C-alpha cells in the first residue's frame, strides 16, 4: 500500500442521499436506515468496541435541552480526528478515517436542527448494535 496523506484517509463513505435519509428518519424510510446502519457497522468493524462506544457515549451525554447542544456535538469531531491521528495500525487508521469523515459530515448536516440530531442519535444507536455483531474481538 502506498503512503497516503492523512487528509486522503479522512473521508465520508455515505452518499448524500443516505445522509439525508438517516437524518430524517420516518416510517417510510426506517428499513433503509437500518440497512445503512448495518453497512456501516460492518465497515467500521476494525474500530475497537470500547472506542466505538466511547464516541457514542459522548453523543448520549449531550443534553438536547441545553442551548449549546450543537456546539457540544461539533466537539466530537476533534475527538475522532485525534483518535485517527494517534493510530499506528494502517488498517485501523483507514477505518478510523472513514468513521471520522462520515460522522463529521453527518454532524455538519445536522446544522443545529434538533430533529436531525434525534434521528442521528437513533441511527448511531443502530450502527453501534451492528458494529458489536461485526467487530473483531479486540
- Residues of the chain above pLDDT 90, percent: 90
d(CA 46, CA 24): 28
- pLDDT over threshold 70, residue 115: yes
- pLDDT over threshold 60, residue 89: yes
pLDDT at position 138: 47
The answer to whether 131 and 66 are in contact (CB under 8 A) is no
Average pLDDT over residues 61-89: 95
Average pLDDT, the chain: 92
pLDDT at position 119: 98
φ/ψ region of 111 (left if φ > 0, alpha if ψ in -120 to 50, else beta) reads: left
CA distance readout (Å), 34 to 29, 81, 82, 119: 9, 26, 28, 12
The answer to whether 6 and 97 are in contact (CB under 8 A) is yes
d(CA 37, CA 132): 12
The domain ranges of the chain are 15-134
The answer to whether 113 and 24 are in contact (CB under 8 A) is no
Average pLDDT over residues 29-43: 97
Amino acid at each position: 500500500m502506498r503512503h497516503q496523506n492523512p487528509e486522503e484517509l479522512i473521508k465520508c463513505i455515505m452518499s448524500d442521499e443516505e445522509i439525508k435519509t438517516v437524518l430524517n428518519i420516518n416510517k417510510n424510510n426506517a428499513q433503509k436506515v437500518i440497512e445503512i446502519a448495518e453497512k456501516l457497522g460492518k465497515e467500521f468493524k476494525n474500530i475497537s468496541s470500547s472506542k466505538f462506544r466511547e464516541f457514542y457515549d459522548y453523543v448520549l451525554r449531550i443534553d438536547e435541552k441545553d442551548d449549546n447542544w450543537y456546539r457540544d456535538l461539533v466537539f466530537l469531531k476533534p475527538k475522532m480526528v485525534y483518535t485517527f491521528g494517534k493510530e499506528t495500525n494502517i488498517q485501523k487508521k483507514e477505518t478510523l478515517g472513514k468513521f471520522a469523515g462520515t460522522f463529521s459530515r453527518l454532524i455538519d448536516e445536522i446544522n443545529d436542527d434538533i430533529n436531525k440530531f434525534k434521528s442521528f442519535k437513533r441511527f448511531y444507536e443502530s450502527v453501534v448494535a451492528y458494529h458489536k455483531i461485526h467487530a473483531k474481538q479486540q
